[in-house]
């Protein structure tokens, strides 16, 4: 490690020289309060900014060990520090100066969810923060003086302000880690309680807008209130006793009039696989970790999925036990989405009528009369959900305001009424007894077999042009994998583009390490997730990067399943 004065000398020496001279600054420098590391210098002022790190010893920072002595707390602290660092950048960085990204300081900052991120790590020795710095230039020449200001004046202030215990708002940090710990506690309690999800009394579920995940702050917000019949009590390690609605294993229907808050409740359950920051309103709205949102997704590619539990007798005699298409329909895509989710392993499917194919959900008595079963390839979900529950232990929460036929197969019916939830199970069963739906159950007595699929290496080509591997995440919902685009537009439980980036790299990792035609997709996903859990996200990249966040095996599988070149042996 070099002394920081060495870095100052280098900057003075290269001032005004060609931009490439910045390469000389690569290395580690002792700033006494912390170590400053320049990992990778950008090629020019317009390229992706340079990758840098600071490492503060825990002794100097003085953040007490008990703040992060559990894994939950550690993840929460890392998330908290990233947010603080970002705020301090806002306070102390003068921002862009010079051309391109000159002077731009930036750290990957999470949204409403608390994810395990690669931007910050902590252990018993030190805190490491990874961020990017646009090394400044005038024209194509090194702006040495400006670089010196950023590195010797701005960054030290940011580090001091955000990473030293004495300058951190202790109450808010403590609340952050305790909230996340409590949410994880609820998730771990669900099993003991026989529940698949929990929504606390007092939760604020609606969001500010369709494009803004912050809580809706308005005097018209109705706080969530559990029906008495479903109310459970949980004793949290930090917040103490809370009550709320427990959604038990089985089939839960959410009925109610349009605009009464059905989809808002389901959305909160979808994102309940993640923890949320204090003040979000959904802090303790928690779902089993492997819950999967299912929707229709016409146009997606499907590779060799056995969709025969739902789809049979397709026109032209197309095989549905190993069904492939470049352009799935609404119903076939929804069937494939369910079977792929169950293949990877899920305890809970979350389905909203708003994003479902009608003919996948509903086939009523009259339609059964008009179109006989041998002319209708689709066996509707209503005839399959009990088999899913009984044969595979898969529960379902289904938003259904449009068809009372579902009363027959539901275990619980909740009605949303002006944003309040009411348990109407008895009434719904009474109605089902009084007005028979007259349907004939379709699709046979069993769900049907679940088939494993074995991806082969030749179905993955990450190369583009001269590069052996070019994998670029484009925002939240799109990954360029070599020359092919993976469209994740309908994968609704990805919440952060840093997850998308990590998923892209994880496909490449799986390809190099585990995909061999002999391992099933389920096994491959399990192995990759185990490696990440054991060794961290850094195993996915050659160099340390600060822009990845953890994701679930389900979403990794979603990305692989949507690769248009995927081949199954």
Q: Give the one residue of 92, 407, 419, 551 binding ligand ADP; rule: CB under 6 A.
A: 419
Q: How far is CA 200 from the centre of its chain?
A: 22
- DSSP letter assigned to residue 150: I
Residue 242 three-state SS: strand
**Using CA atoms, how far apart are residues 301 and 328, in angstroms rounded to an integer?**
6
C-beta separation of 568 from 453 below 8 A: yes
Nearer to Mg ion, 265 or 342 (CB): 265
Instruction: Establish if 317 lies at the interface with ligand ADP (CB under 6 A).
Output: no
Distance between start and end Cα atoms, the chain: 51
Shortest distance, position 422 Cβ to ligand ADP, whole Å: 13
Shortest distance, position 270 Cβ to Mg ion, whole Å: 13
Instruction: Establish if 258 lies at the interface with ligand ADP (CB under 6 A).
Output: yes
Q: Which stretch binds ligand ADP (CB under 6 A): 185-193, 255-263, 321-329, 368-376?
A: 255-263
Tokens found for residue 65? 């060990």
Q: What is the pattern of x (binds ligand ADP, CB under 6 A) and - over residues 222-251?
A: x-----------------------------
Residue 341 three-state SS: helix
Shortest distance, position 208 Cβ to ligand ADP, whole Å: 9
Q: Which stretch binds ligand ADP (CB under 6 A): 21-29, 218-226, 234-242, 424-432?
A: 218-226
- What, of Mg ion, ligand ADP, none, does residue 206 touch, CB below 5 to 8 Å by kind? ligand ADP
Nearer to ligand ADP, 354 or 523 (CB): 354
**Using CA atoms, how far apart are residues 341 and 355, in angstroms rounded to an integer?**
17
* Phi, psi (degrees; rounded to nearest 5) at 101: -95, 20
Tokens found for residue 169? 């708002």
C-beta separation of 453 from 521 below 8 A: yes
- What, of Mg ion, ligand ADP, none, does residue 441 touch, CB below 5 to 8 Å by kind? none
Tokens found for residue 38? 């320049």
- What, of ligand ADP, Mg ion, none, does residue 258 touch, CB below 5 to 8 Å by kind? ligand ADP
- What, of ligand ADP, Mg ion, none, does residue 205 touch, CB below 5 to 8 Å by kind? ligand ADP
Q: How far is CA 369 from the centre of its chain?
A: 43
- What, of ligand ADP, Mg ion, none, does residue 384 touch, CB below 5 to 8 Å by kind? none
Closest CA to 265 of 417, 138, 48, 69: 417
Q: Give the one residue of 110, 261, 330, 443 binding ligand ADP; rule: CB under 6 A.
A: 261
- What, of Mg ion, ligand ADP, none, does residue 110 touch, CB below 5 to 8 Å by kind? none
Nearer to Mg ion, 232 or 490 (CB): 490
Nearer to ligand ADP, 388 or 415 (CB): 415
Shortest distance, position 423 Cβ to ligand ADP, whole Å: 17
Instruction: Establish if 318 lies at the interface with ligand ADP (CB under 6 A).
Output: no
* Residues forming beta bridges with residue 553, ordered by sequence position: none
Shortest distance, position 224 Cβ to Mg ion, whole Å: 16
Tokens found for residue 256? 């109610």
CA distances to 70, 122, 203, 533 from 116, in Å: 13, 12, 24, 10
Instruction: Establish if 211 lies at the interface with ligand ADP (CB under 6 A).
Output: no
Instruction: Establish if 213 lies at the interface with ligand ADP (CB under 6 A).
Output: no
Instruction: Establish if 217 lies at the interface with ligand ADP (CB under 6 A).
Output: no
Instruction: Establish if 219 lies at the interface with ligand ADP (CB under 6 A).
Output: no
Question: 515 CB contacts (<8 Å, ≥6 apart)?
Answer: 455, 456, 457, 460, 524
Closest CA to 552 of 480, 472, 493: 493
Shortest distance, position 415 Cβ to ligand ADP, whole Å: 10
Residue 141 three-state SS: strand
Nearer to Mg ion, 206 or 459 (CB): 206
Nearer to Mg ion, 78 or 262 (CB): 262
Residue linked to tokens 């290269």: 14
Question: 292 CB contacts (<8 Å, ≥6 apart)?
Answer: 341, 346, 348, 349, 350, 493, 554
* Residues 456, 569, 465, 510, Cα dihedral to 10°: -20
Sign of CA dihedral 200, 206, 210, 212: negative
- What, of ligand ADP, Mg ion, none, does residue 560 touch, CB below 5 to 8 Å by kind? none
Q: Give the one residue of 83, 196, 260, 439 binding ligand ADP; rule: CB under 6 A.
A: 260
Interface with ligand ADP (CB under 6 A), residue total: 16
Nearer to ligand ADP, 54 or 415 (CB): 415
Nearer to ligand ADP, 47 or 221 (CB): 221
Nearer to ligand ADP, 158 or 205 (CB): 205
Where do contacts with Mg ion occur on this chain (CB under 5 A)? Answer: 262-263, 354
Q: How far is CA 346 from the centre of its chain?
A: 15
Instruction: Establish if 202 lies at the interface with ligand ADP (CB under 6 A).
Output: no
Instruction: Establish if 263 lies at the interface with ligand ADP (CB under 6 A).
Output: yes
Segments in 122-225 forming alpha helices (H): 144-149, 155-163, 170-193
* Phi, psi (degrees; rounded to nearest 5) at 69: -80, -5
* Residues forming beta bridges with residue 413, ordered by sequence position: 253
- What residues line the site for ligand ADP (CB under 6 A)? 205-206, 216, 220-222, 256, 258-264, 416, 419
């Amino acid at each position: 490690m070099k002394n920081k004065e060495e870095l100052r000398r280098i900057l003075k020496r290269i001032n005004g020289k060609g931009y490439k001279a910045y390469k000389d600054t690569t290395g580690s420098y002792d700033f006494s309060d912390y170590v400053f590391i320049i990992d990778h210098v950008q090629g020019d002022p317009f390229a992706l900014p340079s990758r840098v790190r600071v490492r503060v010893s825990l002794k100097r920072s003085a953040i007490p060990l008990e703040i992060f002595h559990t894994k939950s707390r550690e993840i929460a602290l890392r998330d908290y520090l990233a947010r603080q660092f970002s705020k301090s950048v806002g306070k102390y960085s003068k921002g862009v100066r010079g051309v391109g990204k000159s002077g731009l300081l930036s750290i990957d900052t999470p949204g409403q969810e608390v994810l395990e991120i690669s931007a910050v790590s902590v252990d018993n020795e030190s805190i490491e923060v990874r961020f990017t710095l646009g090394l400044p230039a005038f024209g194509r020449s090194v702006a040495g003086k400006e670089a010196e200001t950023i590195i010797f004046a701005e960054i030290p202030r940011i580090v001091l302000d955000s990473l030293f215990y004495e300058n951190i708002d202790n109450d808010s940090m403590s609340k952050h880690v305790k909230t996340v710990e409590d949410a994880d506690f609820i998730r771990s309690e669900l099993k003991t309680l026989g529940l698949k999800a929990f929504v606390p009394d007092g939760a604020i579920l609606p969001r500010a807008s369709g494009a803004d995940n912050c809580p809706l702050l308005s005097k018209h917000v109705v706080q969530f209130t559990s029906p008495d019949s479903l109310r459970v009590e949980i004793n949290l390690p930090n917040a103490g006793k809370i009550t709320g609605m427990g959604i038990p294993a089985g089939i839960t229907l959410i009925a109610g009039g349009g605009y009464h808050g059905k989809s808002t409740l389901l959305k909160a359950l979808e994102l309940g696989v993640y923890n949320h920051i204090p003040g979000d309103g959904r802090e303790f709205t928690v779902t089993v970790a492997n819950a999967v949102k299912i929707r229709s997704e016409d146009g997606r590619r499907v590779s060799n999925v056995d969709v025969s539990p739902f789809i049979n007798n397709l026109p032209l005699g197309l095989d549905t036990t190993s069904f492939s298409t470049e352009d799935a329909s609404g119903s076939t895509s929804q069937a494939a989405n369910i079977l792929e989710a169950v293949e990877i392993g899920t305890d809970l499917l979350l389905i909203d009528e708003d994003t479902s194919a009608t003919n996948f959900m509903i086939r009523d008595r009259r339609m059964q009369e008009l179109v006989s079963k041998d002319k209708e390839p689709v066996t509707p979900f209503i005839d399959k959900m009990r088999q899913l529950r009984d044969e595979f232990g898969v529960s379902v929460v289904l938003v259904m305001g449009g068809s009372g036929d579902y009363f027959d197969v539901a275990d619980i019916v909740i009605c949303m009424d002006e944003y309040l939830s009411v348990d109407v199970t008895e009434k719904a069963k009474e109605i089902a007894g009084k007005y028979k739906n007259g349907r004939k159950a379709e699709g046979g007595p069993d769900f049907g077999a679940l088939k494993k699929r074995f991806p082969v290496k030749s179905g993955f080509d990450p190369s583009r042009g001269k590069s052996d591997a070019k994998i670029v995440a484009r925002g939240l919902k799109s990954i360029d994998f070599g020359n092919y685009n993976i469209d994740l537009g309908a994968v609704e439980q990805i919440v952060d583009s840093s997850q998308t980036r990590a998923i892209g790299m994880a496909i490449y990792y799986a390809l190099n390490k585990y995909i061999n035609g002999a391992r099933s997709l389920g096994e491959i996903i399990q192995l990759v997730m185990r490696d990440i859990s054991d060794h961290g996200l850094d195993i996915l990249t050659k160099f340390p990067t600060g822009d990845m966040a953890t994701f679930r095996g389900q979403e990794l599988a979603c990305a692989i399943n949507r690769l248009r070149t995927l081949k199954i042996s």
